[in-house]
C-alpha cells in the first residue's frame, strides 16, 4: 500500500475524542432519519424512556429492570452514531491538512499583454483566466499549462516527494491547485473554480461530507427498512395474542424484543462501512468522484490495461544479437555497442550492458573515440555515431534498409525481414544494426513483463474478470507478450477509436469495463468505461472524463481498486447476513421469557438455560448493543478478501457470517446472562 | 411410519419429477405462442376469440397496463359471480331449490374463488345450485388459475427479456393458458374421475334408507368436472363440504394419487418453464430443488407426527399402530392423509382429504407453516413460482453482496427498485395474517369463532387468516366462519394476499425487463447449485420463521409441549 498509510488505531485519542462528541450530535433525529433502522430504535427508546419515567414516578414494581433496558436501548443508538463518527474521524485529519494548503494563495493574474499581471486572491479566480506561476509559487488553482515547462512538487496531494515535470501540450499539461512550482515559470489557464476544484473534491471526499448513498447502499437500506416493518408487525400483534392466552406482556419488553429483532447491527454499521471503503481508496491514493464508481469497480467484468507501464516495465531490454549470414555475433555486438555508446535511452544503455556482460566488450568513452554522435530523430528513426569514417547506425528495420539503399547498397531484405519477424513473434522489438550501410544483424529488444503480474492476472481470472492488454505494437509482438503475461486478450495497434469501440462492444455484451488512461485522446474511452481511472500526471481532459484519479499514476492499481470495491460490497453483505442470522438466538432468549408467565410449557424453548426471564431479555439487548461495537473494527477494515470465484467466496462467507451469525449470539447471550445473573442485575 | 407409507410418498415425488420437464416444455411453447400438438385444432378458436374481443395478441403491454387489465378483469369477474350467487334461486339448474346466498357469504365466496383461495364458509351441497357451481365457481376456478399462470409467466419474461418495455399481453396469456392447458387437461381428468366413480350429473339428490333404517340424503351433481379444475388449478374448493375426503369426490387410492399429482403438476412445470425462458434449465431445477427440500421436510415431520399417534390415547390402551386416525379416512390412512395435507397447503390448493383440526399439534403446524411461508413450495399455479422468485430476489440480495458484486439473478442486477417492490410483496402476508389474527383474538365477534379453548382455539383463528391471506383456502375446521365478521375480514385478507403481492410483483417484472442482461462469469454468484438452493431455503425459513415464531409459539408449539405434559385442548 501507499506510503501515506498509517495504521490508524481505533483507540487513537485524536480520533476517539471528536468521535465521542460526534456520536452525541448525531443523535439529532433530523440527521438520524437518514438511517431508518437506527431512527426507529431512537424513537422506541424515547417511548420506552417516557413509559419508564412514568412507572418510576408512579412507583410501579420492577422499574429497575425497565431502567436497565432503556439505558441499553440508548447505548445501542449511541454505538451506531459512534461507529459513523469514528469512520468519519479517520478522514478528517487528512482533510485538515489539505484545507490548510488551500487558504492563503495569491494568484498572479495575467492581463493579456506580455507578462504583466496583477496579484489577486486565489479564490476569486474564474474559469478561463490565465495566471503566471513562478518558482516558489503555489499553483493557485486547477489548470492547464499553456506555456512553459516546470518542475512541480506535488507531495501535498500525492504524498510523493520527488518533483514531477509538467509542460505545455501533450499529456502532462495538467496542474493542480495547492502544488508548488520548484523551478522555471509557467502560464496556466484556470479550469476549475474555487469550490469545485480537485482539492475541494478531495476534502469533501475524505470528510464524507459529499457522501451520498450508493445504489447498493440504497437498496440495502430499503431491505432493512422492509425487515423492520415486518418485525413491527410481528411485535405489535403480540399483545393481542397474549390477551387471548390470558396473559400480558409489558410494552418495554416488547420494545426490547423489537429492537433485538430488527437488523440493528448492519443498520448501525452501514454508513461506517461506506465511509471506511472510501477512505481505504483515498489511503491508496485514489480519488473517486462518487461512491457509485467504487461500487461499480466491484462489478467490473473486463479490465483494459495498457501494456507499457502496467504489464511490462516501461523500458525494453536488449537480450540478444542476431547476425545475418556471414557475420559473427561478436561483430554485431561490437557495432551495436558503438552505436549505443552515446545513447542515453534505457534501450541504448541495455545494449551496452548486454555487449559488456555477454560478449566481454568494455565500454568506451565516447569522447575518447572522437566520434560524432548522431541522435535519434522522428524523420530518420535511427541513431548512431560517425567514427573514423565509418557510418554506424541502429534503428527500425525499415529505416535501416532505407538507409542502406540510400548509400547504394543492396541489403539482404529477405533475411533481415525474416529475423525481424521471428523476433516480433516472440514478443520482442527488432532493431537493425548497420555499418556503412551494410546490415550486420538485429538487436533483440525484449519487453520485460513485470514480475508477479502473471499471478495477478490469474487471480483476476479466478474472480471472473477478463483482462485485455492494449498496445500500439503489431499483432505478433502483442500476442507474444499477451501470452507471456497471461492476459486473456489483447488489442494490438490500438488507436483511441479502437479502444472506444472495444469498450462499447464489451458493454453491449452486458459487461462492465474498467480502464485507465492519461492522455487527452483517452478521454472518450475513459468517459465511456464504467470505471475510468485517470492518472494524476495526465491531462485535465482525462481527469475530468474518468470517475477516479490515481494520484500515484500507477496503472497497476486498477486491480486494487477492483478489490476495494468488492471488499466494500462483501462487508455489507457479510454484516447483513450476520445481523439477520443473530435473530434466531435472540428469539430463543426472549420468546420463552416473554410468555413463560402464562405458558410455563414454553420454558422448554429456553435452550440456553438463561437464569431468569428478566436476565434473558436484558442479556439479549446487551448482546445486541455490544455486538455493534465489537464489529466496528471489521466494518472499518472490511472483511477479509481473497481473490477467488464467487462460489468459493460465498461458501466461505456464508460459513463465517451466516453460520457464525447463528452460533455466536447463543454463546454471547449465555455469557452475558451469567454475568448479569452473578451481578444481580436482573 | 411404514415402508409402504414411504413408498407411496416416494412414488408421488418420482411422478412429479417425471412430469416437470415435458409439461414445462409444453407450457413454454404455449405461452410463447409457438406451435404445439393442439395448435391445428385450437389455433382457429384462439384467433376467433381475439377477433371477437378486438385484441392483438402480439401487442406488448407494460407492467402497468398488464396490471390494469388484470384488475379490470377481476372486477368484472367479481360482479358476475356475486350476482349469480345472489340470484341463484331465480335461475335455472337448481333442482334442490337452494335459496339465494346471503350478501356477506356471496361476497366472501366471490372474492375467495376470484383469488384462487376457495375458502368456503359454506357447505357446497347445502348452499350452491348447480348453475352456481358450474357457471360461477368452476368458471372462476379456471380463470383464477389462468391468471396465476399468466402472472408468473409475466415475471419470468421480466427475467428473460433484456431492455424491453413490455412483459407480454394479459389477454393473450389468459386465452392461451385456458385454451391450451387447463381445458384439455381438465377434459381428460374429468373422464378419468368419472371412471373412478365420481358423479357427473344434474340429478336431484337421492333419498336412501340405510340398513339401520335411517334416512340418508345422497348429494349428486356435476362433481367430476369441477373436481378436475379444483385440483389442476390449485383452487381446492370442494363440491361437497367434506371436500376430497368425501367418497364421491375422492373415491379411490388411484383417484387420490391423480388428485395429488394434478395439484403439483403445473406448479412444478412452471419452474422448468422459468429455466427454459432464461436459457438455463438448471435455474429452474434449482428453484424446484429448494421447493422440494421444504416440501420433504414438511412431509417427514407431518408423517412422523401423524404416524406416531396421540400418546395420551395410546396410554388409554388404544392401539396406536395406524397412527393418529381421528378425522382421517381409512382408505387413505396416516401416510396419504399427511402427504395430502402437506401437498395441499404447500401448493395453495386447500383441498383436504382429512380433517386438519384433528391432526397432532406438530402435524397440523406443518400445513400452517407451509402457508405462512407464503405458499412458495410449488405453490398455487403461478403464484408459487412468482412467490418463490421474489424470495430468490431477496435471498440473492441478502447474501449476494457477499461475493463482492451487485447481486445478480439470472443476469439481472437486483437494485433498489426491485428490492423495494419485493419487500412490499413479502410484507403482505404477515400484514394480513398477523393483523387480522390479532384483531380476531380480542374482539368478541372474533372470539365467538373458535370451537376450542386455549392455544388450539388460537391456532384455529391463526389458520383461518393464514389460509385466506396465503390464498390457500383449506380450513382447519373448528372455526365458525360463516359470520359477517369472519366473512368480511377473511375476504379482505384474501384480497391483500392476492393483489397486494401481484401488483408489486408485476412492478418487479417491469423493472427487470427493462434492464440489460449482465454476462455471467466466474465472479457471478452461481444460482443453479446446491449452495444457492441452501441459501434460498435458509432465507425462506429465516424470514418466514422470524415473522411468525411468536404466533406459532402461542399456538401449535405451546399446544405440543402441553400435550407432552398431558394437557389437551
Q: Which of A306, A473, A530, A673 is catalytic?
A: A306
Q: What element of type H or E holds A185?
A: strand A185-190
Q: Which of A182, A164, A183 is nearest to A174 (CA)?
A: A164
- The pLDDT value given to residue A2: 38
The grid coordinates of residue B274 equal: 422459468
Euclidean distance between CA atoms A506 and A112, whole angstroms: 47
β-pair partners for A393: A384, A434
Q: Which of B510, B560, B550 is nearest to B161 (CA)?
A: B510
How far apart are the two ends of chain B, measured CA to CA in Å?
A: 26
Across the interface, of B430, B522, B525, the residue whose CB is closest to A233 is: B430
**Interval A389-442: pLDDT, tens:** 788 888 888 888 888 888 888 888 888 888 888 888 887 888 899 988 888 899
Across the interface, of A239, A601, A645, the residue whose CB is closest to B522 is: A645
Contacts of A657 in chain B (CB under 8 A): 402
Q: Does B146 fall in a domain?
A: yes
Q: Does B110 fall in a domain?
A: yes
Q: Does B98 fall in a domain?
A: yes
- The pLDDT value given to residue B67: 96
**Strand duo A302-306 + A466-470: pairing:** parallel
Q: Does B250 fall in a domain?
A: yes
Which DSSP string corresponds to A3-34? TT-----TT-HHHHHHHHHHHHHTT-HHHHTT
Across the interface, of A243, A512, A572, the residue whose CB is closest to B442 is: A243
Across the interface, of B402, B415, B426, the residue whose CB is closest to A653 is: B402
β-pair partners for B354: B328
Euclidean distance between CA atoms A653 and A58, whole angstroms: 50
Burial call B86-124: b when 16+ CB within 10 Å, e when fewer: bebeeeeebebebeebbebbbbbbbbbbbbbbbbbbbeb
Residues 515-534 of B with CB under 8 A from A: 516-519, 521-526, 529, 531
Residue B430 touches chain A, beta carbons under 8 Å: yes
Helix, strand, or coil (residue A385)? strand
Q: How many CB pairs under 8 A join A and B?
A: 221
Contacts of B469 in chain A (CB under 8 A): none
Residue B538 touches chain A, beta carbons under 8 Å: yes
The grid coordinates of residue A153 equal: 512538487
ipTM, two decimals, is: 0.90
Q: Chain B: nearest CA to A298, how far in angstroms?
A: 5
Euclidean distance between CA atoms B103 and B452, whole angstroms: 28
Contacts of B553 in chain A (CB under 8 A): 591, 595, 602, 605
* Total number of domains constituting chain B: 1
Contact A301 B565 (CB under 8 A): no
Residue A299 a catalytic site member: no
Residues of chain B with pLDDT below 50 are none
Contact B518 A511 (CB under 8 A): yes
Q: Chain A: nearest CA to B403, how far in angstroms?
A: 5
Contacts of A653 in chain B (CB under 8 A): 399, 402-403
Among A236, A241, A253, which would you mutate to test the B interface (most chain B Cβ atoms within 10 Å of its Cβ)?
A: A241
Q: Does B480 fall in a domain?
A: no
Q: What element of type H or E holds A149?
A: strand A149-153
Q: Which residues of A are annotated as a binding site?
A: 343, 347, 376-383, 394, 518, 522
Contact A595 B554 (CB under 8 A): yes
Residue/partner pairs of B559-565 with CB below 8 Å, 24 or more apart:
B559/B361, B559/B454, B559/B455, B559/B456, B559/B459, B560/B360, B560/B361, B560/B362, B560/B365, B561/A601, B561/A602, B561/A604, B562/A599, B562/A601, B562/B454, B562/B455, B563/B310, B563/B311, B563/B312, B563/B360, B563/B361, B564/B311, B565/A601
Residues 477-516 of B with CB under 8 A from A: 516
Provide the mean pLDDT of chain A: 84
Q: Does B223 fall in a domain?
A: yes
Euclidean distance between CA atoms A107 and A244, whole angstroms: 79
Euclidean distance between CA atoms A202 and A223, whole angstroms: 31
Q: Chain B: nearest CA to A230, how far in angstroms?
A: 6
Closest residue, chain B, to A229 (C-alpha): B427
Q: Chain B: nearest CA to A295, how far in angstroms?
A: 8
- The pLDDT value given to residue A87: 83
Closest residue, chain A, to B521 (C-alpha): A464
Euclidean distance between CA atoms B72 and B53, whole angstroms: 15
Closest residue, chain A, to B406 (C-alpha): A299
Q: Chain A: nearest CA to B8, how far in angstroms?
A: 35
Residue B434 touches chain A, beta carbons under 8 Å: yes
Contact A21, A46 (CB under 8 A): no
- The pLDDT value given to residue A7: 45
Closest residue, chain B, to A217 (C-alpha): B416
Euclidean distance between CA atoms B562 and A602, whole angstroms: 9
Contact B426 A222 (CB under 8 A): no
Euclidean distance between CA atoms B364 and B165, whole angstroms: 45
Q: Is the dihedral of CA B524, B526, B532, B536 positive or negative?
A: positive
Contacts of B525 in chain A (CB under 8 A): 646-647, 650
Residues 376-415 of B with CB under 8 A from A: 394, 397-406, 411, 414-415
H-type alpha helices, A366-522:
366-369, 397-406, 413-425, 453-462, 475-485, 496-508
Across the interface, of A301, A601, A654, the residue whose CB is closest to B519 is: A301
Across the interface, of A227, A238, A298, the residue whose CB is closest to B550 is: A238
Contact B551 A237 (CB under 8 A): yes
Among B373, B404, B479, B519, which would you mutate to test the A interface (most chain A Cβ atoms within 10 Å of its Cβ)?
A: B404
Closest residue, chain A, to B562 (C-alpha): A601
Q: Chain B: nearest CA to A543, how far in angstroms?
A: 26
Helix, strand, or coil (residue A287)? strand
List phi, psi (to 5°) of B96.
-85, -5
Euclidean distance between CA atoms A551 and A174, whole angstroms: 13
Nearby residues of B566 by Cβ (< 8 Å), 6 or more positions away: B312
Q: Chain B: nearest CA to A304, how far in angstroms?
A: 17
Closest residue, chain A, to B446 (C-alpha): A244
Contact B554 A219 (CB under 8 A): no
- The pLDDT value given to residue B349: 86
Closest residue, chain A, to B459 (C-alpha): A241
Contact B526 A647 (CB under 8 A): yes
Residues of chain A with pLDDT below 50 are 1-7
Q: Does B70 fall in a domain?
A: yes
The grid coordinates of residue B535 equal: 441459501
Contact A567 B404 (CB under 8 A): yes
Count Cβ atoms below 10 Å from residue B51 Cβ, excluding itself: 9
Across the interface, of A461, A577, A591, the residue whose CB is closest to B398 is: A577
- The pLDDT value given to residue A3: 38
Closest residue, chain A, to B393 (C-alpha): A223
Domain that holds residue B101: 20-204+218-279
The grid coordinates of residue B394 equal: 431477496
Across the interface, of A229, A237, A576, the residue whose CB is closest to B435 is: A237
Q: Does B183 fall in a domain?
A: yes
Q: Cell 425459513 appears where?
A: B541
Q: Which residues of A are annotated as a binding site for ATP?
A: 343, 347, 376-383, 394
Contact B402 A601 (CB under 8 A): no
Amino acid at each position: 500500500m501507499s506510503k501515506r498509510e498509517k495504521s490508524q488505531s481505533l483507540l487513537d485519542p485524536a480520533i476517539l475524542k471528536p468521535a465521542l462528541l460526534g456520536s452525541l450530535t448525531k443523535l439529532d433525529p433530523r440527521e438520524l432519519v437518514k438511517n431508518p433502522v437506527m431512527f426507529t430504535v431512537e424513537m422506541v427508546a424515547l417511548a420506552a424512556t417516557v413509559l419508564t419515567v412514568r412507572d418510576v414516578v408512579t412507583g410501579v414494581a420492577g422499574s429497575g429492570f425497565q431502567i436497565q433496558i432503556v439505558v441499553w436501548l440508548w447505548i445501542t443508538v449511541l454505538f451506531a452514531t459512534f461507529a459513523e463518527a469514528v469512520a468519519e474521524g479517520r478522514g478528517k485529519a487528512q482533510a485538515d491538512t489539505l484545507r490548510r494548503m488551500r487558504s492563503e494563495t495569491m494568484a498572479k493574474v495575467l492581463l493579456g499583454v506580455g507578462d504583466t499581471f496583477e496579484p489577486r486572491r486565489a479564490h476569486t479566480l474564474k474559469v478561463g483566466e490565465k495566471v503566471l506561476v513562478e518558482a516558489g509559487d503555489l499553483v493557485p488553482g486547477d489548470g492547464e499549462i499553456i506555456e512553459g515547462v516546470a518542475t512541480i512538487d506535488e507531495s501535498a496531494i500525492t504524498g510523493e516527494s520527488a518533483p514531477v515535470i509538467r509542460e505545455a501540450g501533450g499529456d502532462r499539461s495538467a496542474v493542480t491547485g495547492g502544488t508548488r512550482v520548484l523551478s522555471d515559470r509557467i502560464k496556466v489557464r484556470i479550469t476549475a473554480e474555487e469550490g469545485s476544484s480537485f482539492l475541494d473534491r478531495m476534502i469533501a471526499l475524505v470528510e464524507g461530507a459529499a457522501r451520498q448513498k450508493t445504489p447498493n447502499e440504497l437498496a440495502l437500506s430499503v431491505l432493512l427498512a422492509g425487515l423492520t416493518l415486518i418485525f413491527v408487525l410481528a411485535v405489535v400483534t403480540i399483545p393481542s395474542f397474549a390477551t387471548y392466552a390470558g396473559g400480558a406482556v409489558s410494552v418495554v419488553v416488547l420494545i426490547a424484543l423489537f429492537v433485538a429483532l430488527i437488523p440493528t447491527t448492519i443498520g448501525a454499521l452501514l454508513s461506517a462501512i461506506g465511509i471506511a471503503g472510501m477512505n481505504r481508496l483515498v489511503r491508496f491514493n485514489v480519488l473517486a468522484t462518487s461512491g457509485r464508481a467504487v461500487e461499480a469497480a466491484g462489478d467490473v467484468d473486463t479490465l483494459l490495461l495498457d501494456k507499457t507501464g502496467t504489464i511490462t516495465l516501461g523500458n525494453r531490454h536488449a537480450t540478444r544479437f542476431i547476425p545475418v549470414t556471414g557475420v559473427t555475433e561478436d561483430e554485431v555486438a561490437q557495432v551495436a555497442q558503438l552505436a549505443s555508446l552515446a545513447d542515453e535511452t534505457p534501450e541504448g544503455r541495455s545494449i551496452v550492458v548486454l555487449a559488456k556482460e555477454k560478449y566481454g566488450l568494455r565500454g568506451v568513452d565516447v569522447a575518447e573515440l572522437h566520434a560524432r554522435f548522431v541522435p535519434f530523430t522522428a524523420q530518420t528513426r535511427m541513431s548512431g555515431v560517425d567514427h573514423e569514417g565509418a557510418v554506424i547506425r541502429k534503428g527500425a528495420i525499415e529505416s535501416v534498409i532505407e538507409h542502406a539503399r540510400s548509400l547504394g547498397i543492396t541489403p539482404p531484405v529477405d533475411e533481415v525481414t525474416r529475423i525481424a519477424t521471428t523476433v516480433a513473434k516472440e514478443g520482442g522489438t527488432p532493431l537493425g544494426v548497420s555499418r556503412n550501410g551494410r546490415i550486420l544483424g538485429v538487436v533483440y529488444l525484449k519487453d520485460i513483463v513485470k514480475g508477479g503480474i502473471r499471478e495477478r492476472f490469474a487471480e483476476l481470472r479466478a474472480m471472473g474478470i477478463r483482462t485485455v492488454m492494449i498496445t500500439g505494437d503489431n499483432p505478433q509482438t502483442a500476442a507474444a507478450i499477451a501470452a507471456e503475461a497471461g492476459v486473456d486478450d489483447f488489442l494490438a495497434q490500438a488507436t483511441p477509436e479502437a479502444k472506444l469501440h472495444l469498450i462499447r462492444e464489451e458493454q453491449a455484451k452486458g459487461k462492465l469495463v474498467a480502464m485507465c488512461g492519461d492522455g487527452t485522446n483517452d478521454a472518450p474511452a475513459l468517459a465511456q468505461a464504467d470505471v475510468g481511472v485517470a492518472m494524476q500526471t495526465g491531462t485535465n481532459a482525462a481527469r475530468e472524463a474518468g470517475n477516479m484519479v490515481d494520484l500515484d499514476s500507477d496503472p497497476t492499481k486498477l486491480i486494487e481498486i477492483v478489490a476495494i470495491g468488492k471488499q466494500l460490497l462483501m462487508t455489507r453483505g457479510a454484516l447483513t447476513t450476520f445481523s439477520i442470522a443473530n435473530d434466531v438466538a435472540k428469539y430463543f432468549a426472549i420468546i420463552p421469557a416473554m410468555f413463560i408467565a402464562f405458558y410455563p410449557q414454553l420454558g422448554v424453548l429456553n435452550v440456553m438455560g438463561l437464569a431468569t426471564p428478566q436476565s434473558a431479555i436484558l442479556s439479549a439487548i446487551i448482546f445486541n448493543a455490544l455486538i455493534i461495537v465489537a464489529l466496528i473494527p471489521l466494518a472499518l477494515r472490511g472483511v477479509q478478501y481473497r481473490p477467488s470465484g464467487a462460489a468459493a467466496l460465498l461458501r466461505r462467507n456464508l460459513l463465517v457470517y451466516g453460520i457464525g451469525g447463528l452460533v455466536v449470539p447463543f454463546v454471547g447471550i449465555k455469557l452475558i446472562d451469567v454475568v448479569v445473573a452473578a451481578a444481580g442485575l436482573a | 411410519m411404514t415402508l409402504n407409507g414411504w413408498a407411496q410418498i416416494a412414488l408421488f415425488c418420482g411422478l412429479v419429477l417425471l412430469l416437470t420437464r415435458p409439461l414445462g416444455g409444453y407450457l413454454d411453447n404455449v405461452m410463447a405462442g409457438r406451435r404445439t400438438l393442439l395448435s391445428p385444432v385450437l389455433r382457429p378458436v384462439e384467433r376467433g376469440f381475439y377477433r371477437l374481443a378486438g385484441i392483438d395478441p402480439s401487442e406488448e403491454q407494460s407492467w402497468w397496463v398488464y396490471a390494469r387489465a388484470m384488475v379490470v378483469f377481476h372486477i368484472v369477474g367479481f360482479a358476475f359471480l356475486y350476482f349469480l350467487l345472489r340470484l341463484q334461486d331465480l335461475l335455472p339448474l337448481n333442482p334442490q331449490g337452494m335459496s339465494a346466498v346471503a350478501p356477506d357469504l356471496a361476497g366472501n365466496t366471490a372474492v375467495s374463488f376470484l383469488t384462487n383461495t376457495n375458502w368456503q364458509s359454506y357447505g357446497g351441497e347445502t348452499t350452491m345450485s348447480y348453475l352456481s357451481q358450474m357457471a360461477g365457481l368452476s368458471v372462476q376456478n379456471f380463470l383464477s388459475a389462468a391468471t396465476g399462470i399468466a402472472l408468473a409467466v409475466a415475471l419470468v419474461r421480466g427475467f428473460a427479456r433484456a431492455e424491453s418495455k413490455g412483459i407480454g399481453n394479459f389477454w393473450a396469456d389468459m386465452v392461451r393458458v385456458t385454451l391450451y392447458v387447463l381445458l384439455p387437461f381438465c377434459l381428460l381428468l374429468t373422464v378419468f374421475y368419472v371412471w373412478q366413480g365420481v358423479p357427473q350429473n344434474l340429478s336431484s339428490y337421492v333419498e336412501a334408507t340405510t340398513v339401520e333404517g335411517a334416512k340418508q340424503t345422497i348429494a349428486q351433481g356435476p362433481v367430476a368436472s369441477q373436481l378436475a379444475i379444483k385440483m389442476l388449478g390449485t383452487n381446492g374448493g370442494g363440491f361437497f363440504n367434506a371436500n376430497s375426503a368425501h367418497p364421491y369426490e375422492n373415491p379411490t387410492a388411484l383417484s387420490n394419487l391423480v388428485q395429488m399429482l394434478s395439484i403439483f403438476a403445473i406448479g412444478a412445470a412452471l419452474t422448468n418453464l422459468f429455466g427454459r425462458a432464461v436459457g438455463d434449465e438448471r435455474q429452474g431445477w434449482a428453484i424446484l430443488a429448494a421447493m422440494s427440500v421444504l416440501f420433504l421436510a414438511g412431509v417427514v415431520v407431518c408423517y412422523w407426527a401423524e404416524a406416531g399417534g396421540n400418546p395420551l390415547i395410546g396410554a388409554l390402551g388404544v392401539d396406536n399402530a395406524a397412527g393418529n386416525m381421528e378425522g382421517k379416512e381409512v382408505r387413505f390412512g396416516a401416510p396419504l392423509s399427511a402427504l395430502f395435507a402437506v401437498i395441499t397447503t404447500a401448493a395453495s390448493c386447500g383441498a383436504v382429504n382429512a380433517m386438519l383440526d384433528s391432526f397432532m399439534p406438530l402435524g397440523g403446524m406443518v400445513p400452517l407453516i407451509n402457508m405462512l411461508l407464503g405458499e412458495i413450495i410449488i405453490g398455487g399455479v403461478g403464484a408459487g413460482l412468482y412467490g418463490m422468485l421474489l424470495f430468490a430476489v431477496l435471498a440473492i440480495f441478502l447474501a449476494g453482496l457477499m461475493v463482492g458484486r451487485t447481486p445478480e439473478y439470472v443476469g439481472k442486477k437486483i437494485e433498489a427498485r426491485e428490492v423495494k417492490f419485493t419487500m412490499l410483496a413479502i410484507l403482505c402476508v404477515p400484514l394480513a395474517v398477523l393483523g387480522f389474527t390479532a384483531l380476531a383474538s380480542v374482539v368478541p365477534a372474533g372470539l365467538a369463532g373458535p370451537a376450542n379453548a386455549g392455544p388450539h382455539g388460537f391456532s384455529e383463528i391463526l389458520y383461518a387468516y393464514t389460509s385466506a391471506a396465503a390464498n390457500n383456502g383449506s380450513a382447519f375446521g373448528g372455526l365458525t366462519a360463516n359470520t359477517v365478521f369472519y366473512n368480511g375480514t377473511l375476504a379482505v385478507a384474501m384480497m391483500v394476499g392476492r393483489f397486494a403481492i401481484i401488483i408489486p410483483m408485476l412492478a418487479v417484472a417491469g423493472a427487470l425487463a427493462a434492464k440489460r442482461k449482465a454476462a455471467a462469469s466466474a465472479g457471478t454468484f452461481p444460482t443453479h447449485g446446491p449452495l444457492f438452493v441452501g441459501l434460498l431455503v435458509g432465507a425462506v425459513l429465516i424470514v418466514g420463521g422470524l415473522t411468525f415464531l411468536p404466533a406459532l409459539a402461542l399456538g401449535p408449539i405451546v399446544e405440543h409441549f402441553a400435550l407432552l405434559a398431558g394437557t389437551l385442548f
